[in-house]
Structure 1
């Protein structure tokens, strides 16, 4: 289980360029309360064409 499993996140307005290298999402549920849970797109996983962000992100760790 990862810090944000089961939680919904509004990503309306995110651009592909903003998340190509992954994202650091604020959370109180990780190993570092008040820190960030790190999520990255899986290399080689296809993205759905079209506007906006259209890929899955996978948990890669926590940071303060």
Structure 2
């Protein structure tokens, strides 16, 4: 199911970012949480995710 990301998706998105190109997941901090909340609550930002069986995923044929 394709849907808009919600606040609770942060850590799944961080793990996806790690899988795609990062070397490590940023340390959990109040700054990271505040930044994420600002993005999620901004009506001009829209993060679209692909949810499969309750998890945010990329299909193999998406590359």
Shorter-chain TM-score tier: under 0.3
More relative contact order, 1 or 2 (CA 8 Å, 6+ apart): 2
TM-score by length of 1: 0.26
Give the structure with the larger helix fraction. 2
